[in-house]
Amino acid sequence: MNSCKSCLASLSDSSTYCSSCGAKQVGDRLTIPSLFKVFFVKFTSLDFAFFNTTRWLITDPRRVTIAYIKGVRKKINHPTNYALIIISLYGLFQLVFSDFLDLMTQNNFVSSVREGFNHGMDSDVDEQTAKVTAIFLWLQTRSQFLVFAIIPVLSVFSFLIYKKSRYNLAEHLVIALYAISFSLLINVVIGIFFAPFNTTNAVMLYNSVSSVVAIVAIIWVYQRSLERSVWRIIIALIVSFFLTLCFMTIGAMVVALLF
């Protein structure tokens, strides 16, 4: 008789999993290939769930969003796990194309907000104004990640607009997570083609193309998931974007005043 390495319960010699705690019983020694295999499996989830999730978001989003809501787990990524993978991929993209990202931070929507804020201030810059500007500069370098800030707002508005869809707020949050994560993945893929040029014109073109395609991707996921009017999700998306921008601006001012 063997014993479980996790809970010490008695096991038969042929047991692969513990009947008490469910832990897998590992007898082989660690090797470099086995470590990479475990990392890859854990990172992408079992059965290439990441690739299935992405493929189905492209071809038929209902196989991801509504399937997850209805209980499918093994074949697709958990929405937060999928978001973390996309964030990791974007971090890798930042590492490889850091010069292009530096140019991009100077020409994104946060930079426009910061310029508008500074333009509205007096010529004499006080301490609070300097703090707000510093906060905007910090946000400016992380604008792609800030797209996730729209998720809770978009979830609420889609829930209100699509109330007859019979999905609750948590289920709308799942759809928003998949949609926004998918849009950021598209930004990474498009960025790979533009980044080698590393010019201001390339950045401006990338911002325009990636923004349009990302919006289309979000609308695609929502429309195919809920099978409702496209105009409703466009309205929800526009309102959510501007509200998030307002919350971000107000938050920067509050932080500057308090700290």
Counting every residue, how long is the chain?
259
- Centre a 10 Å sphere on the Cβ of residue 132 and count the other Cβ atoms it contains: 23
Two tokens, residue 124: 């004499």
pLDDT of residue 124: 46
Identify the pLDDT of residue 223. Answer: 92
How far apart (Å, rounded) are the C-alpha atoms in residues 24 and 180? 34
Q: Are 195 and 207 in contact (CB under 8 A)?
A: no
Specify whether the CB–CB gap between 165 and 226 falls below 8 A: yes
Helix ranges, the chain (H): 32-44, 49-59, 65-69, 79-96, 98-105, 109-120, 127-140, 143-146, 150-161, 169-194, 200-226, 230-258
Q: What angle separates helix 230-258 from helix 109-120, to the nearest 10 degrees?
A: 50
Q: What integer pLDDT is reported at residue 84 of this predicted model?
A: 87
**What average pLDDT does the structure give for the chain?**
78
Q: Which residues contact 146 (CB under 8 A, 6 or more apart)?
A: 110, 139, 248
Lowest mean pLDDT segment, chosen from 24-38, 57-71, 90-104: 24-38
C-beta of residue 219 within 8 angstroms of C-beta of residue 237: yes
pTM of the predicted protein model: 0.74
pLDDT tens for each residue of 139-175: 555 556 667 888 999 999 899 888 777 899 999 999 9
In which band, very low, low, confident or very high, does the pLDDT at 28 lie, cut at 50, 70 and 90?
Answer: low
